[in-house]
Amino acid sequence: MKSSGVLPIVCQTPEETRQLGQRLGRKLRPLDVVCLAGNLGAGKTTFTEGVARGAGFKGAVMSPSFGLVRPYRAPKLTIYHIDLFRVSDLETGEIGLEDCFGDPNGAVVIEWAGAAKLYLPKDRLEFQIDYFKEGRKISCRALGPRSQDLLRD
Ligand SMILES: Nc1ncnc2c1ncn2[C@@H]1O[C@H](COP(=O)(O)OP(=O)(O)OP(=O)(O)O)[C@@H](O)[C@H]1O
Ligand SMILES: [Mg+2]
């Protein structure tokens, strides 16, 4: 599969991580899928908050761990924030993920996407967030032309 990345970016503060997410959120289109990988507390939700802001969502953004999916409805796009931490492949069948991935007005940002493999499109954007000194190092890979487009300035 064709994939391409960009150089890792170091975000020294949560605000920088949010701003990076915001840049992506401004460009996100319906049916885009963004996967966020990284250890507990790496900054996946912080990044997602930026994405939601960039897409024009004004309300509260928080970890959906217990609800599993939080829809952030902005005027032009709904961002489905999904968190599958400790969710098994079997359980994902009960969450209604097909409604999120199939919403023609929605894009998906997903933390701990492992259990959603069946739902993920081949062409998606994958971020990896790692602890780096006092901040975080964020790397990104586009798995196809559609997601590659999101990385252009
Ligand atoms: N450069 C940074 N970028 C992002 N978060 C940072 C940074 N520096 C410190 N932090 C802090 O790290 C924490 C990141 O929490 P966040 O909930 O975003 O992580 P997460 O990856 O979503 O965790 P989880 O796996 O539990 O869902 C926050 O408390 C945030 O303030
Ligand atoms: Mg989180």
23-66 pLDDT, tens digit per residue, is: 999 999 999 999 999 999 999 999 999 999 999 999 999 988 76
Tokens in use for 146? 């559609």
CA distances from 92 to 10, 56, 68, 74, 75 (A): 33, 28, 9, 25, 28
pLDDT at 2 over 80: no
Answer yes or no: is the C-beta of 42 below 6 A from any ligand 1 atom. yes
From the list 129, 118, 126, the residue with the least C-alpha distance to 143 is 126
7-32 pLDDT, tens digit per residue, is: 899 999 999 999 999 999 999 999 99
CA nearest ligand 1 atom 9, residue = 14
